[in-house]
Structure 1
Amino acid sequence: MRKKLIEVALPLEAINAESAREKSIRHGHPSTLHLWWARRPLAACRAVLWSSLVDDPSSWPDKFPTEEDQKRERERLFDILGRITIETDKKGNHKQVVRGLVSWDDIKNPAIIDEAQKEIARCLAWDRGEEPPTQPDAVRDYIAQYAPPAYDPFAGGGSIPLEAQRLGLEAHASDLNPVAVLINKALIEIPPKFKDLPPINPENRQKKGMNFWKGAQGLAADVGFYGQWMRDEAFQRIGHLYPKVALPKEYGEDAEATVIAWLWARTVKCPNPACGCQMPLVKSFELSTKKGKEAWVQPQIDREQTPPRIQFDVKTGKGEAPDPPKTGRGASFKCLACEQPVGEKYIKAEAMAGKMDAQLMAIVADGKNGRVYLSPNSDHEVIAKSEVPAWQPQQHLANDPRNIWCVSYGLDTFDKLFTSRQLVALTTFSDLVSEAKEKAFQDAVAAGLSDDDVLLNDGGTGARAYSEAISTYLAFAVDKASDYWSALCSWHSSGEKMRNTFGRQAIPMVWDYAECCIFSQSSGNWMACIDWVWKVIEKSTIFLEGKVLQHDATVIHENDSPPKIVSTDPPYYDNIGYADLSDFFYVWLRRSLLAIYPDICSTLLVPKIQELIASPYRFDGSKKKAQAFFEEGLGQAFKRMHDISHASYPLTIYYAFKQAETEKKGKGEESVSSTGWETMLEGLIQSGFSINGTWPMRSELSNRMIASDSNALASSIVLVCRPRPETAPKITRRQFLSELKKELPKALKTLQQGNIAPVDLAQASIGPGMAVYSQYAAVLENDGSPMRVRTALQLINQLLDEYLTEQEGEFDSDTRWALTWFEQHQFNEGQYGDAETLSKARNTSIQGLEQAGILTAKAGKVRLLKRSELQPNWNPEQDNRVPHWEITQHLIRALDQTGEIGAAELLAKLGNGGEIARDLAYRLYNLCDRKGWSAEGIGYNSLVISWPEISRLARESKKSEPIQGSLF
């Protein structure tokens, strides 16, 4: 069995850099076609698949006989896959750029794809004892003939099947979730059916010089055209619900402007009998926090009325927004009129009884010089509530208390997540999807497409199928609209724009919400939703036939033969309730597409009973039953993958689940493990797989990782698996520990050299540790019973702690004192006597530590200095005592205050002494993670993540320094 590149080495830094960058790529990127949660970056999927197809040079000793030959060939393959280079822009600035197959920019160049496919064909040909083809068309034909299909049984957002198709493989995808199935169809099934077809809409057909349309450009043009037609039709029908707003006289007589958004405050009746006003539930009165453009809402209390009425005025210019009535987490408010605190219990009861209302708080309009903020208009408030929708999605939201919070406040059916006007708009556009389909059908027939009446779902490629394809994408635009047209959207005061519903993997409760104008030119308008969709189609360059099925991953399917290359991203235990969340979109997709996909859209809501997540609320609150369901189902899925996987290619699995369960072992000892990891690994091993390799693949933007909670995982861990030989032996616990102690430190060192984020180190260490465990038929405990996966995980984490602790020997004595003191006190005060005793044990002194600038000692108390207390403008070149602790804290402070450039300037002054700061950051993050000090851990995580760029900038800084000359 030949080893693949992924089982030996990867250019991780380039892959991770491009994966992190990918989330900043907007229009045209496949991820923007339709929202999906926890979608894997395309760059990572492309790298994993290609390196699973291409042989490592060590597999061909006759062609690459020496280690040097193999290394040279490996470097060549890395150049194809991904390399970080330094390029100079037009302004003369140097910047890091990723080049190669993993680069989103480079894959637009056909030569890059040709080169990558040529390597795949070469490995196939060598294995068959044939000469590899060289011409691009011949290469593609060769791959199509001899490479197995690629299959993702948990296809989700479609990243893996899409990239398999890009590499020239026949891509197969399946998912139980109908929303995921339709996303995959839109990505890999529909575009190949209509490759190089010119648009059928009359506007484009009448244009001259537009006879040649490449790829899916014609389909994209038609989606844009019929999307515009829908907008025009909708404006005729419901445009009166979105009136313009009169501007103040300083803008001119009878001046008016298009509304961007109406801002509403939810209200409930004040429980104080002496008051009884409709009290607004507002989280913030700020409208714009941009310097020079400040605007806010000023509440006014009209006590002449009984009960008092709270009105809103919008203020601009100098001043500050008043404190909002929200007083704490959840539904904790006070009445603005009587200032009585009102608790969550009362507000929930009023909301559940249907007594929660909404009051217009402000209007945002589109002015000539930016946003215009206006006080509420009573006519606009009446118009907003004037029309009742003909249809409403009255299905119930799932009772998921962890991710769906609005249910507790009476928003328990989908129609209640939208205002009356929003429901009218969404039903209007949903109806227009069907009308656009009929119009497109007539235009397609007129354009010469076959009127064979074969449906898209039945494999059709004629006029009927084409009009249904257009409708599929138009329905996706309605889904995008629903994300911006709900009463769970909010106003972004610093960006002066709409926030969509799904800012996170949850359906939240929003108190003061924003309702966008769907006919404006601002965020959330209908044509913006259409633009997101057609630009993805236009960029499509993949035209091999794909196959997408709605199927339960645990069940055998007739499509399981022939054997396939399996790569998948299974559910992460209980992290995300995909089915519950995707109901939000499915209720609209089903209304728009039921006639086109009757089987896929046959259920009223997304199927949930078979969904593989360990959610206790689906099992009467029983964690045990939820875990048992997940274990059994995932085991069955892995067993199926084992049976259908092609023997020549590894199985690759993405997993990102934080180990967060700590067990007490007595005498103050603790062990860390994870039910999510245990269940996944148990299923893999019981299905006959062993783990041959693990790779941490970045999946978050670095700035998000720096700014967010340090406990948020930055990476998915990709497990590379092969079937375990039936002849695999059994070993004892002692033998296992001995081998683990030998192999794990080497793997951890490699991970650190690869600059893995500290937040991911514990997860990444599971791979090499379980590689030792899983290669044996069993690891036997002292009593002869098999060692549990959970025990193995605890031992791996224990050895990780030991490894990081042993690194303390590399630090100076001052730093070793600081580490121990930090673990005991963080930055809080401790007794001088305790500090002095510890200093003697660490061969240092309190006086010396104080002189070094890392602590303060006063009145019998000792405390480490916080980063904010460190000496400003510190110059290590003028400091004769520079502990590694001081270096690390100053670097983090510089990174926080002046960014990577400032940290690099400091690192350049430190010389070689700065490098050890990264090792200390790993140790400090480990301590913070274990102690639950999330906020403090962010700084150490950030330093490691930013280290490659800080180091590069520091090197550039040194190169540019003038060299001192000499007279002799």
Structure 2
Amino acid sequence: MISFIEKQFPVSKISKESYKERKANNGQTLTGLGKWWGRKPLVLVRATILGCLMPASDNPKRDIDIFLKIMSMDHKGLELRKEKSFSASEMYEIANKNTKLQPHIDEWFDLTEGKVTLTRGVDKKEVELKVFNTLGYDEKLRKCIRPEQLKNLDDQTWDEINHHLGTSADNLQDLMKQLSMKRYGKNVVIGDCFCGGGSIPFEAARMGCDTYAGDLNPVAGLLTWAGINILGADEKKLTEIKRYQEDIFDKVDKEITKLGIEHNEKGERAVSYLYCVEAHCPECSKKVPLSPSWVIGKGTKTVAKLVENDNGYDLLVKMNASSIEMKEAEKTGTVGKGGVLCPSCGKSTPISSLRKDRKDNNGNTTYGLRQWEKSEVDFRVDDIYTERLYAIKYEKNDGKRYYRHPNLRDLENEKKAKQIVVENIVAWQKQGLVPSMEIEMGIKTIEVMRNRGWTHWHHLFNARQLLSIGKFVEAIDQQEDKQLRVVGLLGLNKCVDWNSRLCRWHPGVGNEKSEQTFYNQAFNTLMNFGNRSLLGLKTSWFYDINSYLTNKDNAIIKLSDAREVSNNCHFWITDPPYADAINYHELSEFFLAWDKKLLLQTFPEWYTDSKRILAVKGDDHFSQSMIDIYSNLTKHMDDDGMQVVMFTHSDPAVWAQLALIMWKSGLKVTAAWNIATETESGGLKDGNYVKGTVLLVLRKQTEDSMAYLDEINGDIKAGVKEQIESMQTLDDKEDPNFSDPDYVLAAYAASLKVLTSYKKIGELDLDYELDLAINNPDNSQVVKIIENAKRIAYDCIIPNNLDHYLWKDLTHAERFYIKGLEGEKHGNYQISTYQEYARGFSISSYGELMANEKANTARLKTPTEFAMRTVSDNPDFEKSILRIILAAIHIAIKEDGIPEKGLFHIKNQAIDYWGSRDMIKQLLLFIKDTKDIENMPHWAESAAMADVLYVLVDNDHI
């Protein structure tokens, strides 16, 4: 039985829904449970599972209609999901731009005294729905809840779904069970051996499927178990959970209050503590407090001022600072890219020199900082670095908050907190209340060893943090109920993430607080950091838990090596570590150091280390590890089963590597789809970090046929053309689902479908090809086949209204620009699209052609933005007929709108003006068509001039 996902997939809508879910940040369903890196959007998982289970019929147009209905992405589904209302002025603005609604403006709206209101007696809901239904998909989404938040579809929609699929369901869970019975005679089992943050198992369980979730990492196991069992708790249990959270917090609060270390002389409670590192200037020996900025709060206008004394500096906190003082605090930071800047002598010292790093005889760097001992909790007085409390945020009894520098009482509190921890640290470590685990050297963990000399995980927390978080561990330890203990573990990990020495202080307006440790995929040691008091930890300990119906009774969560999975599944849906993989094993040890005792008591069958040695890494063994894993999954899959592998779309060489891995694992490609969910850069990458997830759909290779390369080249060409033509036939011209990169991706998949349909290709040694794809892709036959498929694809996706023979005559750079402009006409501003065009048309540099390269707002320069500047990084474009036309439009606009001057430029610059008139006219028409496109107002002037120039060229005769 062929599945829907093997024939078609609504790429555009799922991309937009995935992006909406991602932008919800903490409003996402699973993120509230705890930190994990790289969770896939739940809507993408839902669509993937449904796409695998839903059969493809002989009516593809009806299939897509039904699929969108089930996903609530159709016309009616969006109406049901609409939650936010329109204001009268919003509706008026939309109606005024829409020719179908303009006749109703006088009927619906009252414009008395310049204020827009609805006419008395008009049904607001009716008008609002009519306005809503004129919007494009993106605009509608702004007013809608996410598909997962919709309780159910309406009866009429279920009638249509059931009629097409031969079912009798009235909810999603029931539909999945009925489709499962039709196909397998039992409920479908969804497996994920890299469950990570739990997106795939959770959504599968929420859809009513049986699930198997496996991962090497205990933190991944904990989050996945919690997603299915805590979010799947009933209302009675949820009430118990909330009461448990309150009881634990109250207990810890009483103990901290009794110690008296967070209250000042007025009985006011601290909210935050600000610390900085100090070091002696090597030039003048002054002890310098280190921070990139001394701004504490932009909203409260709070700064710390450096006041020099005999040995170093006093730090005085001032609120309501003047704008001059704020600027001075921003500029007088004592550490930056150049290292430490001493405000006394003005000399700069590189950090590596300050740490006394040096090279040994072999040229290897030896780090100069003293390595801390297991029982230590603070810097020693003779260390290169020491630590200093320089500001405290307090809350008054009336709820108002203020900052001050520490006085004698504050310093006594600080001394007491340190003393308590120093006296008890050894005992607490033995009892498992605070970490005792050593930091193992790794790609990421080397940072804390090199930059601070920290050797054990508890060194990443100061005395106050160890004391308060340790109290939570002690309280959770007394709970015997498994679900409640997991709730406690999740709360503990959130407190750990938001209260370590790696937590940045955020001075933003209305948001003056310390941030989480893992704002990216690294351990970032800081010169100054924020410490949350117990009052400040409230938002970490208390987290929202919403109740969802999950098939938790038929969910298996195991800690296991994917190479040793023994459970059978109908569909394996996996998001494996790939290429520049996140170092999950190292990052998660930050949490495991705290979780060890509680995890073993809660899950006695689990272990508590990250299994670094077994983790799949992007090293020389990566390919073989992946082959071993996917060969094992293939063994534990029905002959009629399927696999979907999610990975980040890169280039043909990466495609070839993955395809060869799957081929050697006994799998064949049946389809591939690209879901683009772009967000602005975050984490470690500079510039734009574009998220594009490819779904590679695979089935078990059950045939034993063989072919030769020269025999299948024709099949590949035919397969690529057939695939693209079928997608173009299905596409909605008014609301396109596929962009050009999707067609190229389909071409890749079509070529791999042909290749992997054979057990063996006569001339190809798969091991040798895999090595070439990784180390020498230019000589890989498989890479060449995929590259050729791309060229075939680009020959098939010629812009509308452009003649085939003229398209052939354009340079690669001109094609890049024209396809980019065509994408903009359809509202496509994704930088990933331009990256794909650059690869497809072999453009190495295109920055000078772009007005904007940011994610989701990328676009090309207009003629007036180009002006007469030279496009130096792309000589093919600079010398092209298109560049001459763009310059002509600019000249005509600049010269008081005289189009004849533009025509003169074209005739003067074109090498063969009369022989190029057809090309010139088509390009002018193409540019003219940007006129009156709502999302392209920046092209209006150029489009109007292109229209006039077209008439001049068309009427120009010898």
Normalising by structure 1, report the TM-score.
Answer: 0.68
CA separation of 1:836 and 1:636: change in aligned 2, threshold 3 A: closer
CA separation of 1:836 and 1:550: change in aligned 2, threshold 3 A: closer
Residue 765 of structure 2 is aligned to residue 773 of structure 1:
no
Deviation at 1:740, TM superposition (A): 4.5
What CA distance in whole angstroms lies between the structure 2 residues aligned with 1:119 and 1:470?
43
User: 2:694 aligns to what SS in structure 1?
Assistant: strand
What CA distance in whole angstroms lies between the structure 2 residues aligned with 1:573 and 1:814?
29
* Residue matched to 1:18: 17
Moved more, 237-246 or 105-114: 105-114
User: 1:147 aligns to what SS in structure 2?
Assistant: coil
State the AA in 1 paired with 2:502: L
Moved more, 174-183 or 340-349: 340-349
Equivalence map 1:755-770=2 (5 Å): 766-770=748-752
Residue 604 of structure 2 is aligned to residue 598 of structure 1:
yes
Moved more, 586-595 or 70-79: 70-79
Unaligned 5+ runs, structure 2: 91-131, 357-367, 372-378, 800-805, 818-842, 850-865, 896-920, 948-958
Is the 2:3–2:53 Cα contact (8 Å) retained in structure 1?
Answer: yes
* Residue matched to 1:363: 392
* Residue matched to 1:716: 693
* Residue matched to 2:345: 338
* Residue matched to 1:414: 457
Residue 245 of structure 2 is aligned to residue 227 of structure 1:
yes
- TM-superposition CA deviations, 1:478-521 (whole Å, max 9, x none): 0110001101001222232321001012221222111112224x
Deviation at 1:357, TM superposition (A): 1.4
Moved more, 714-723 or 103-112: 103-112
The CA RMSD over aligned residues, in Å, is: 4.7
State the AA in 1 paired with 2:757: Q
- TM-superposition CA deviations, 1:511-532 (whole Å, max 9, x none): 2111112224xxxx23x23432
* Residue matched to 2:361: none
CA separation of 1:902 and 1:509: change in aligned 2, threshold 3 A: farther
Residue 665 of structure 2 is aligned to residue 727 of structure 1:
no
* Residue matched to 1:468: 482
* Residue matched to 2:320: 316
Deviation at 1:431, TM superposition (A): 0.8
Deviation at 1:379, TM superposition (A): 3.3
Unaligned 5+ runs, structure 1: 59-68, 193-214, 247-253, 439-466, 615-625, 660-671, 856-879, 892-900, 916-968
* Residue matched to 2:668: 690
Equivalence map 1:149-188=2 (5 Å): 149-188=189-228
User: 1:493 aligns to what SS in structure 2?
Assistant: strand
Residue 514 of structure 2 is aligned to residue 498 of structure 1:
yes
Aligned match of 1:571 in 540, 554, 577? 577
State the AA in 2 paired with 1:358: E
State the AA in 2 paired with 1:397: I
State the AA in 2 paired with 1:334: L
Moved more, 572-581 or 87-96: 87-96
Residue 438 of structure 2 is aligned to residue 396 of structure 1:
yes
Deviation at 1:384, TM superposition (A): 2.9
* Residue matched to 1:429: 472
Moved more, 39-48 or 511-520: 511-520
User: 1:421 aligns to what SS in structure 2?
Assistant: helix
Is the 1:289–1:493 Cα contact (8 Å) retained in structure 2?
Answer: yes
Is the 1:219–1:470 Cα contact (8 Å) retained in structure 2?
Answer: no
CA separation of 1:554 and 1:227: change in aligned 2, threshold 3 A: same
Is the 1:480–1:529 Cα contact (8 Å) retained in structure 2?
Answer: yes
User: 2:345 aligns to what SS in structure 1?
Assistant: coil
Moved more, 30-39 or 539-548: 539-548
State the AA in 2 paired with 1:91: S
Is the 1:812–1:884 Cα contact (8 Å) retained in structure 2?
Answer: no
- TM-superposition CA deviations, 1:794-842 (whole Å, max 9, x none): 553466478669969669999949969975977997699x989964766
User: 1:180 aligns to what SS in structure 2?
Assistant: helix
* Residue matched to 2:40: 40
What CA distance in whole angstroms lies between the structure 1 residues aligned with 2:815 and 2:55?
49
Deviation at 1:719, TM superposition (A): 0.7
CA separation of 1:553 and 1:885: change in aligned 2, threshold 3 A: same
* Residue matched to 1:646: 638
Residue 496 of structure 2 is aligned to residue 482 of structure 1:
yes
* Residue matched to 1:512: 528
Is the 1:265–1:282 Cα contact (8 Å) retained in structure 2?
Answer: yes
User: 2:8 aligns to what SS in structure 1?
Assistant: coil
Residue 256 of structure 2 is aligned to residue 260 of structure 1:
no
Deviation at 1:294, TM superposition (A): 2.9
Is the 1:150–1:172 Cα contact (8 Å) retained in structure 2?
Answer: yes
CA separation of 1:647 and 1:496: change in aligned 2, threshold 3 A: same
What CA distance in whole angstroms lies between the structure 2 residues aligned with 1:831 and 1:187?
53
What CA distance in whole angstroms lies between the structure 1 residues aligned with 2:765 and 2:550?
59
Is the 2:672–2:745 Cα contact (8 Å) retained in structure 1?
Answer: no
What CA distance in whole angstroms lies between the structure 2 residues aligned with 1:119 and 1:40?
30
Equivalence map 1:923-942=2 (5 Å): none
User: 2:690 aligns to what SS in structure 1?
Assistant: coil
Equivalence map 1:640-679=2 (5 Å): 640-656=632-648, 658-659=650-651, 673-674=653-654, 677-679=655-657
- TM-superposition CA deviations, 1:425-478 (whole Å, max 9, x none): 11111011012x15xxxxxxxxxxxxxxxxxxxxxxxxxxxx122111111100
State the AA in 1 paired with 2:692: S
State the AA in 2 paired with 1:416: H
What CA distance in whole angstroms lies between the structure 2 residues aligned with 1:136 and 1:694?
25
Moved more, 350-359 or 906-915: 906-915
What CA distance in whole angstroms lies between the structure 2 residues aligned with 1:837 and 1:36?
45
User: 2:514 aligns to what SS in structure 1?
Assistant: strand
User: 2:612 aligns to what SS in structure 1?
Assistant: coil
What CA distance in whole angstroms lies between the structure 2 residues aligned with 1:295 and 1:712?
34
What CA distance in whole angstroms lies between the structure 2 residues aligned with 1:407 and 1:119?
62
User: 1:594 aligns to what SS in structure 2?
Assistant: helix
* Residue matched to 2:405: 375
User: 2:304 aligns to what SS in structure 1?
Assistant: strand
Is the 1:690–1:721 Cα contact (8 Å) retained in structure 2?
Answer: yes
* Residue matched to 2:85: 89
What CA distance in whole angstroms lies between the structure 1 residues aligned with 2:790 and 2:558?
42
Is the 1:693–1:719 Cα contact (8 Å) retained in structure 2?
Answer: yes
What CA distance in whole angstroms lies between the structure 2 residues aligned with 1:433 and 1:11?
46
- TM-superposition CA deviations, 1:533-553 (whole Å, max 9, x none): xx3253455554311111111
Residue 55 of structure 2 is aligned to residue 55 of structure 1:
yes
Deviation at 1:708, TM superposition (A): 8.0
User: 1:183 aligns to what SS in structure 2?
Assistant: helix
Deviation at 1:146, TM superposition (A): 1.4
Is the 2:438–2:457 Cα contact (8 Å) retained in structure 1?
Answer: yes
Is the 1:280–1:335 Cα contact (8 Å) retained in structure 2?
Answer: no
State the AA in 2 paired with 1:406: V
* Residue matched to 1:270: 281
Aligned match of 2:62 in 63, 67, 72? 72
Deviation at 1:372, TM superposition (A): 2.9
* Residue matched to 1:851: 891
State the AA in 2 paired with 1:308: G
Deviation at 1:338, TM superposition (A): 2.0
What CA distance in whole angstroms lies between the structure 1 residues aligned with 2:410 and 2:631?
60
What CA distance in whole angstroms lies between the structure 2 residues aligned with 1:418 and 1:641?
41
Residue 617 of structure 2 is aligned to residue 613 of structure 1:
yes
Deviation at 1:608, TM superposition (A): 1.0
What CA distance in whole angstroms lies between the structure 1 residues aligned with 2:136 and 2:846?
37
What CA distance in whole angstroms lies between the structure 1 residues aligned with 2:558 and 2:246?
31
What CA distance in whole angstroms lies between the structure 1 residues aligned with 2:784 and 2:486?
48
What CA distance in whole angstroms lies between the structure 2 residues aligned with 1:577 and 1:839?
47
State the percentage of identical aligned residues.
18
- TM-superposition CA deviations, 1:914-953 (whole Å, max 9, x none): 99xxxxxxxxxxxxxxxxxxxxxxxxxxxxxxxxxxxxxx
Is the 1:299–1:313 Cα contact (8 Å) retained in structure 2?
Answer: no
State the AA in 1 paired with 2:674: P
What CA distance in whole angstroms lies between the structure 1 residues aligned with 2:788 and 2:894?
30
What CA distance in whole angstroms lies between the structure 2 residues aligned with 1:347 and 1:836?
50
- TM-superposition CA deviations, 1:158-210 (whole Å, max 9, x none): 11111111222111111111111122222225676xxxxxxxxxxxxxxxxxx
